[in-house]
Amino acid sequence: MTEGTTNTTDENLFQLTNVNKRFTKGRESITIFDDLNMSIKKGEFLAIMGPSGSGKTTLLNMLGGVDQPTNGEVWFDGARIDKLSENGLAKWRAANIGFIFQFYNLMPMLSAARNVELPLLLTNLGKKRRKQSIDAALELVGLKDRAGHKPKEMSGGQQQRVAVARAIVSDPKMLLCDEPTGDLDRATADEILTMLQELNREYGKTIVMVTHDPEAAKYATKTVHLDKGEFVEKGSV
Amino acid sequence: MKLLEQIWIVIIMNLRSIPQRFGMSVATIFAVAAVVGVLLFFLAMGNGFKDTLEGAGSENVAVVTRVGSQSELNSSLSREQVNLLSTAPGIAKDLEGNPIYSGELYVIVDGYKKTTNSKVNIPMRGLSTEGFALRENVDIIEGRVFTPGRNEIIVGESVLREFSGFELGTKVTFAKTTWEVVGIFSTGGSAFDSELWADTRTVQDQFRRGSSFQTMRIRLETPGDIQPLINYAEADPRLNVKIETEAEYFSTQSNALNNIVVFGWIISVVMGMGALAGALNTMYTSVAARAGEIATLRAIGFSNISAFFGTVAEAIILSLIGGATGIIIVYFFVDGASAATIGASFTQVVFSFTLSADLLQQGMLLAFGIGIVGGFFPAFRAARMPVVTAFE
Ligand SMILES: Nc1ncnc2c1ncn2[C@@H]1O[C@H](COP(=O)(O)OP(=O)(O)OP(=O)(O)O)[C@@H](O)[C@H]1O
Ligand SMILES: [Mg+2]
């Protein structure tokens, strides 16, 4: 057996092994993670909580392949991703990851449908098939009638639903969400969270969600607490 | 991979966001327009000047000047030399078998520009009616031809247009001599239209030239073939003359004007640096404004190539709009406009600014160059933007 197969078991989608993360600026260097180990199971809806500055976003970035560990290994579905090239990672992200951001990160100049189409431009789907996928994704988030609207013509909750549609349109295995409800009121937040829960339960998406909000964490199947770069026990979870 | 579609959507996004940088983008467009406009101004000037001179030059006619004279103005030929040469081989004959040639005088007189009222030199040519036959398309458009032996002149249409006091019927005084304008002629926009014409003999008398001439024009038996004339002149020591086709003569005269074109390029390139700085600034601003968008696209999985080309394309499109604007301005305000400038003999040559497809292409090429360079470095920055920016 090679090291690769020993590092991820069948049920683990993500595996972080001895991960070390330092930010260096000039002569100053801060260590965010020191020898971090973590695994995320397929089908899990994991909430990551923790105080500001504890490294939640940094962790999510490493999982999403937009940031690399200083030392250690990141495995995804049996393959190591932390050594991929910039464009190799871009391709990997296009195929496997859907991102949902706190501030939606929609393209202001494009309609909802065009925003949702973006990940499909990285696939081989033709125009007709793309249209079908866009319609299905917008239908799923309940915004089919808003396809032609620009982001600024929609509420925050609606924009985040477009962002969810964009994240799932190319059917990635994994959704990574950084404070997806951080900018929304309670009721709207609950709508989005219910939607994520449904995507996890009915569509089998593995989800990692960073949140400050204990109410949000209740939608997850598992919650971990991060403090100063380490996982800590908290309550009964 | 749908790389082209990726690039295309990024270009569309960039272009749609231009209104957010409206002021800067418009300033860039106008800077490029100014550069291209200035370039085309000079190129159209050089081009028009060349057209005017080359339009005057025929392959069928030989121009004879004294060896060492740069132009007609400082040449001189004696009656004897003209008579000798008229017996040379290679000269076309008229129906009666006489050689077709014309001994001519070329003097300068004062005139005043209509636009600035400044004093300028206008060439006055003394020629015989045979001389008319040696020029293509001479057309008396008003009045009549001068009468030999009288102080009468006919005026080229460019002279009438650009300089004051040459209307039909007017009396004009040069030095101590007075002449009457009896006709207006046109040679279809060539350099001859910038001249005054009078009878050879009369000019010789009034300007005290005795029986001498300055130049001689000869119709060639075979177009372009001046060799028999040259051989004849070389065999006779009395004939220290230079013989060229008229086309050659004028193209040498127009070489001086190549400097206009070079000058135009230099000014444009210097101005182009300024426009380039503007374009760079606009594009860096554009990249900074789109940092979040670019990073988000990268997070989704777009390659950095699309960020690169999207930015370059924006710069090129702005520059090309600028180039087109410059062309439109020059086309409406300069093309066809008439100007007079000092030609080779320090006399005024009237010509029109003339744009051509080739010049427009050069203008657009310059705009394109500004766009490419102005977009390249900002595009490089866009392509190297860290993806984590999307999460901030
Ligand atoms: N690019 C960077 N350069 C230097 N330090 C960084 C960089 N990114 C993050 N950090 C530092 O790493 C630490 C963890 O940051 P991170 O953004 O992961 O925290 P977080 O848990 O997401 O906080 P928040 O809840 O406020 O979003 C912080 O101290 C932060 O200042
Ligand atoms: Mg964070």
For ligand 1, say whether the CB of A55 is within 6 Å of any of its atoms. yes
B198: three-class secondary structure by DSSP: strand
Q: In DSSP terms, which residues pair with A49 in a beta bridge?
A: A225
What is the token pair recorded at B72?
A: 């007609």
What is the token pair recorded at B161?
A: 């247009």
Q: Which of B239, B269, B294 is at the close of a domain?
A: B239
Which of B2, B386, B263, B140 is closest to A124 using CA atoms?
B2
Ranges A132-136, B51-55, B242-246: which has the least confidence:
B51-55
Between CA B259 and CA B262 the distance in angstroms is 5
B114 pLDDT above the threshold of 70 = yes
| Mean pLDDT score, B56-69 | 87
Between CA B139 and CA B252 the distance in angstroms is 26
Between CA B300 and CA B294 the distance in angstroms is 10
CB contact under 8 A, B391 and A178: yes
Distance from CA of A78 to the nearest CA of B (A): 20
Burial level of B143, CB count in 10 A (0-12/13-18/19+)? middle
B187: three-class secondary structure by DSSP: coil
Distance from CA of B21 to the nearest CA of A (A): 14
pLDDT tens figures, A13-58: 999 999 999 998 888 999 999 999 999 999 999 999 999 999 999 9
* Cβ neighbour number for residue B168 with a 10 Å cutoff: 15
Is residue B246 in some structural domain? no
Share of chain A above pLDDT 90, in %: 81
Tell me which amino acid residue A126 is. G
Q: Are residues B374 and B314 in the same domain?
A: yes
Is residue B80 in some structural domain? yes
Is residue B337 in some structural domain? yes
| Mean pLDDT score, A71-96 | 92
- CB contacts of A121 in chain B (<8 Å) are 2, 5-6, 9, 302
Strand order in the sheet with A230-232: A97-100, A174-178, A206-210, A45-49, A222-227, A230-232
User: What's the whole-number average pLDDT of chain A?
Assistant: 91
Q: Are residues B266 and B207 in the same domain?
A: no
Q: Which of B206, B239, B272 is at the close of a domain?
A: B239
CB contact under 8 A, A87 and B2: no
Angle between helices B304-333 and A86-96 (to 10 degrees): 100
Distance from CA of A101 to the nearest CA of B (A): 7
Q: Are residues B86 and B14 in the same domain?
A: no
For ligand 1, say whether the CB of A223 is within 6 Å of any of its atoms. no
- What is the A23 CA–ligand 1 centroid distance (Å)? 9
Nearest to B300 among A86, A99, A124 (CB): A99
B189: three-class secondary structure by DSSP: coil
A60 touching B, CB under 8 A?
Answer: yes
Q: Are residues B271 and B379 in the same domain?
A: yes
Looking at chain B, list the stretches that DSSP marks H as alpha helix, in order from N- to C-terminal side. Answer: 3-16, 22-56, 79-85, 129-133, 157-162, 200-206, 227-235, 246-255, 258-289, 291-300, 304-333, 357-383
Confidence of residue A164 (pLDDT cuts 50, 70, 90): very high
Distance from CA of B314 to the nearest CA of A (A): 15
Is residue B299 in some structural domain? yes
- CB contacts of B307 in chain A (<8 Å) are none
Which of A176, A178, A180, A183 is closest to A194 using CA atoms?
A180
Q: Are residues B102 and B232 in the same domain?
A: yes
Q: Which residue has the tokens 């005139």?
A: B111
* Cβ neighbour number for residue B338 with a 10 Å cutoff: 14
CB contact under 8 A, A109 and B296: no
Between CA B127 and CA A158 the distance in angstroms is 89
Instruction: Give the residue whose CA is nearest to atom 2 of ligand 1.
Output: A23
Q: What is the 3-state secondary structure (H, E, C) of chain A?
A: CCHHHHHCCCCEEEEEEEEEEEEEECCEEEEEEEEEEEEEECCCEEEEECCCCCCHHHHHHHHCCCCCCCEEEEEECCEECCCCCHHHHHHHHHHHEEEECCCCCCCCCCCHHHHHHHHHHHCCCCHHHHHHHHHHHHHHCCCHHHCCCCHHHCCHHHHHHHHHHHHHCCCCCEEEEECCCCCCCHHHHHHHHHHHHHHHHHHCCEEEEECCCHHHHCCCCEEEEEECCEEECCCCC
B358 pLDDT above the threshold of 70 = yes
Report the pLDDT value the prediction gives residue B340, as an integer from 0 to 100.
66
A151 touching B, CB under 8 A?
Answer: no
Q: Are residues B216 and B97 in the same domain?
A: yes
pLDDT tens figures, B233-272: 999 989 999 999 988 888 777 776 677 788 888 988 898 8
Residue-wise over A58-83: b if at least 16 C-beta within 10 A, else e? bbbbbbbbbbbbeebbbbbeeebbbe
Nearest to B301 among A108, A114, A119 (CB): A119
Is residue B290 in some structural domain? yes
CB contact under 8 A, B12 and A109: yes
Report the pLDDT value the prediction gives residue B346, as an integer from 0 to 100.
54
* Cβ neighbour number for residue A171 with a 10 Å cutoff: 14
Q: Are residues B40 and B152 in the same domain?
A: no
Nearest to A107 among B6, B293, B304 (CB): B293
User: What residues have CB less than 8 Å from A96, skipping those under 6 apart?
Assistant: A76, A77, A172, A173, A174
Q: Are residues B192 and B267 in the same domain?
A: no
A69 touching B, CB under 8 A?
Answer: no
Confidence of residue A2 (pLDDT cuts 50, 70, 90): very low
Ranges A189-198, B58-67, B147-156, B350-359: which has the least confidence:
B350-359
Distance from CA of B11 to the nearest CA of A (A): 11
Domain span at B32: 3-54+257-391
Between CA A134 and CA B150 the distance in angstroms is 92
Report the pLDDT value the prediction gives residue B88, as an integer from 0 to 100.
92
Is residue B245 in some structural domain? no
Taking CA atoms, B211 is separated from A93, B74, B134, in Å, by 95, 16, 21
A204: left (phi over 0), alpha (psi -120 to 50) or beta: left
Cα B346 to chain centroid distance, Å, stands at 17
Specify the number of domains making up chain B: 2
Residue-wise over A28-42: b if at least 16 C-beta within 10 A, else e? eeeebbbebebbbeb
pLDDT tens figures, B322-345: 999 999 999 888 776 766 665 555
Q: Best interface-test mutation with B: which of A107, A115, A130, A176 has the largest number of B CBs within 10 A?
A: A107
pLDDT tens figures, B305-317: 888 999 999 999 9
- CB of B336 closer than 8 Å to CB of B352: yes
| Mean pLDDT score, B3-22 | 87
Q: Best interface-test mutation with B: which of A121, A123, A152 has the largest number of B CBs within 10 A?
A: A121
A and B: number of Cβ contacts within 8 A: 78
Is residue B60 in some structural domain? no
Ranges B69-73, B101-105, B189-193: which has the least confidence:
B69-73
- CB contacts of B9 in chain A (<8 Å) are 110, 114, 118, 121
Report the pLDDT value the prediction gives residue B51, as an integer from 0 to 100.
78
Q: Best interface-test mutation with B: which of A23, A62, A118 has the largest number of B CBs within 10 A?
A: A118
DSSP one-letter code for B147: P
| Mean pLDDT score, B77-81 | 92
Taking CA atoms, B93 is separated from A168, B96, B104, B191, B241, in Å, by 92, 8, 19, 26, 22
User: What's the whole-number average pLDDT of chain B?
Assistant: 88
Nearest to A90 among B301, B388, B390 (CB): B301
Q: Best interface-test mutation with B: which of A21, A52, A66, A86 has the largest number of B CBs within 10 A?
A: A66
Question: How is domain A44-66+85-232 classified at the architecture level of CATH?
Answer: 3-Layer(aba) Sandwich (3.40)
CB contact under 8 A, B300 and A166: yes
Report the pLDDT value the prediction gives residue A10, as an integer from 0 to 100.
61
- What is the A57 CA–ligand 2 centroid distance (Å)? 4
A172: left (phi over 0), alpha (psi -120 to 50) or beta: beta
Q: Which atom of ligand 1 is nearest to the CA of A55?
A: 18
For ligand 1, say whether the CB of A203 is within 6 Å of any of its atoms. no
Give the ligand whose atoms come closest to the C-alpha of residue A48.
1
Instruction: Give the residue whose CA is nearest to atom 24 of ligand 1.
Output: A52
pLDDT tens figures, B147-177: 998 999 999 998 998 898 899 999 999 878 8
For ligand 1, say whether the CB of A23 is within 6 Å of any of its atoms. yes
pLDDT tens figures, B179-227: 999 999 998 888 889 899 999 999 999 998 899 999 999 999 999 899 9
Between CA B390 and CA B184 the distance in angstroms is 76
Q: Are residues B13 and B92 in the same domain?
A: no
For ligand 1, say whether the CB of A54 is within 6 Å of any of its atoms. yes
- CB of B374 closer than 8 Å to CB of B276: yes
Is residue B250 in some structural domain? no
* Cβ neighbour number for residue B356 with a 10 Å cutoff: 14
Confidence of residue B353 (pLDDT cuts 50, 70, 90): confident
CB contact under 8 A, A118 and B5: no
Q: Which of B204, B239, B274 is at the close of a domain?
A: B239
Between CA B236 and CA B85 the distance in angstroms is 10
